[in-house]
Amino acid sequence: MGFLDTAKTIKDVAQGLASLDAKRSLLEAYDAALALNSKNQELEVRVRELEEALRFKEKVRFDRNALWAEEDPHPYCNSCWEVKENAVHLTQSTSDPEYYMCPSCNKSYNTAVPRKFVLPEPAPLDRDPFQY
């Protein structure tokens, strides 16, 4: 017998009781059980959300300004993840493959690998620097 069947039985018993106080007490218990069942369902949903967030967190890494999941070529919005723990795939620009937009928060991303600043090679000396 599931929770809803048990709750209906309690309600039927309460309606059949002669004592008004007993009927009221049993109906209050019935209402409390329904509220607890509803809260339990909310908590089960939240546990599932947190388990999914944990699995996502374990498989992503921050690189080139965005979040990248294993075996997924499309980056996620770092901002949406940091603020709301919401994994949102970025939308790639049609004109620049390194440019993305978040469809949720509208943040733009440039995932191009940053160029390293390289100092130019010094010009060769035309004399021995240790001889004056």
Residues that bind Zn ion (CB under 5 A): 77, 79-80, 102, 104-105
CB of 63 vs Zn ion, minimal distance in Å: 17
CB of 46 vs Zn ion, minimal distance in Å: 22
Which DSSP string do the residues of the chain spell out, in sequence order?
--HHHHHHHHHHHHHH-S-HHHHHHHHHHHHHHHHHHHHHHHHHHHHHHHHHHHHHHHHEEEETTEEEETT--S-B-HHHHHHH----BPEEPSS-TTEEE-TTT--EEE-PPPPPP-PPPPPPPSS-TT--
Residue closer to Zn ion, measured from CB, 33 or 101: 101
CB of 76 vs Zn ion, minimal distance in Å: 8
Residue closer to Zn ion, measured from CB, 30 or 79: 79
Residue closer to Zn ion, measured from CB, 34 or 104: 104
Residue closer to Zn ion, measured from CB, 26 or 77: 77
CB of 105 vs Zn ion, minimal distance in Å: 3
